[in-house]
Amino acid sequence: MDFILIDGSYGEGGGQILRTTLCLSAITGRAVHIENIRARRKKPGLAAQHLTAVFAAAKLCDAELNGAELGSRTLRFAPRIKPRAGEYRFDVAEARRGGSAGAVSLVLQTVLLPLALAEGDSCVVARGGTHVPLSPSFDYLHDVWLPYLKLMGVGAELSLERTGWYPIGKGEVRLEIKGIPSGGRRKLHPLKLEDRGELIEVFGRGLAANLPEHVSQRMAQRAETLLRRKNMSCRIDAVPVRAACPGAGTFLVARYERALAGFGALGERGKPAEQVAEDACAKLLEHDHTSAAVDEHLADQLVLPCALADGESGFTVDPMTRHLATNAWVVERFGIAEVELISTSATAGLVRVFPSP
Ligand SMILES: Nc1ncnc2c1ncn2[C@@H]1O[C@H](COP(=O)(O)OP(=O)(O)OP(=O)(O)O)[C@@H](O)[C@H]1O
């Protein structure tokens, strides 16, 4: 069989190589063979979140699977049909005995584009971690990532049914996706975002689950105090919620005239609520000091949709990360686009994506 070979140890060598590969395999119908999955992680191979993404992507396009098990370092994934619109439910906890708080955001990012480019509407309900380390929080997906995808022509709505925190997870997110009409165009609009304009405001929330109400209030107040001290207009809400286990975090969005950027910090046992807010603010202020249009995480997440657009995209970012370079490499392996990463200073850069005709 003709398949694309992907080396999972390339560059960052993490789970994103796998997810981008799954997404593009489903969209293009090309079979893939991935080796050295998550080779640069402490515990290489498929973890619960990755395995859930594999099963989710396979479900959309009825893919033939080989190596889809926990800890597996190789995977063969061969779509049998075009992604099919429909109702889907995925639960990260089912991928591992004893459950998992693996990030639902990463699973949703894997299935959104194949379904947005499929004929007909879909609804995906995903259960797992909604605010967990090293992944986009629900707030980030909702406030930053999805608005950009909408700008590129994706019709989708996200809602949070229940938050899920480490180590139990059990949060739930619903994603409604508008597919394309029968015979419609399977392309997104390009994104041009080199100049972000002036900062308009910062908004966000201090979110605390199963903790005394003052925790969310202290995060919100501390964040507002710090941001106002920098003369930023801001509105940070205190949001107490219930969940399967305690958790807390501060999630902020910097809204510029033409851009959005998201930052967050998670609480942990022994870390004062004020410190959580300060960590989130520090990340936002660091970004604000640059002139980059998108934040470092969004940059790697935009490469894939930009590769599926019907024209050239460009955006500025600071810093350019290894995640970004690695995702650019995966996209190029599929031959669907060329990605140029142009350094404009020691850390900053301009990303240009040229989809193949
Ligand atoms: N705070 C954050 N806000 C938004 N996005 C984030 C944040 N932290 C991480 N991300 C995004 O989450 C993704 C993580 O990808 P990565 O390759 O590290 O794989 P992973 O599957 O999470 O796990 P592992 O690193 O264990 O392999 C990247 O797209 C990264 O930009």
Whether 44 and 174 share a structural domain: yes
Q: Is 109 annotated as a binding residue?
A: yes
When divided into structural domains, the chain yields a total of 2
Q: Is residue 107 part of a domain?
A: yes
| Bigger pLDDT: 2 vs 111 | 111
Mean pLDDT of 79-84: 97
Exposed, middle or buried, 39 (CB in 10 Å: 0-12/13-18/19+)?
middle
Mean pLDDT of 72-100: 96
pLDDT at 325: 98
Band (pLDDT 50/70/90 cuts) for residue 184 is confident
Q: Which CATH number belongs to the domain containing residue 78 in this structure?
A: 3.65.10.20
pLDDT at 349: 97
pLDDT at 241: 95
Q: Is residue 19 part of a domain?
A: yes
List of residues 6+ apart from 190 with CB closer than 8 A: 152, 306, 309, 310, 311, 312, 313, 353
Q: Which atom of ligand 1 is nearest to the CA of 145?
A: 4
Answer whether 209's CB lies under 8 Å from 266's CB: no
The last residue of a domain, from among 186, 216, 231? 186
Q: Is residue 252 part of a domain?
A: yes
Band (pLDDT 50/70/90 cuts) for residue 182 is confident
Whether 206 and 255 share a structural domain: yes
Q: Is the pLDDT of residue 171 over 90?
A: yes
Q: Is the pLDDT of residue 183 over 90?
A: no
Tens digit of pLDDT for each residue in 22-71? 999 999 999 999 999 999 999 999 999 999 999 999 999 999 999 999 99
CB of 297 closer than 6 angstroms to any ligand 1 atom: yes
Give which of 277, 271, 270, 322 is closest to 296, Cα–Cα.
Answer: 322
Q: Is 299 annotated as a binding residue?
A: yes
Q: Is 49 annotated as a binding residue?
A: no
Q: What is the ipTM of this complex?
A: 0.94
Give the span between the Cα atoms of 157 and 142, in whole angstroms: 8
CB of 140 closer than 6 angstroms to any ligand 1 atom: yes
Band (pLDDT 50/70/90 cuts) for residue 74 is very high
What range defines the domain where residue 91 resides? 3-186
Whether 11 and 89 share a structural domain: yes
The per-residue pLDDT of the chain, averaged, comes to: 97
Q: Which CATH number belongs to the domain containing residue 209 in this structure?
A: 3.30.360.20
Whether 29 and 125 share a structural domain: yes
Active site includes 214?
no
Q: How many CB atoms lie within 10 A of CB 170?
A: 21
DSSP structure class, residue 69 = S
Give the span between the Cα atoms of 306 and 167, in whole angstroms: 34
Q: Is residue 302 part of a domain?
A: no
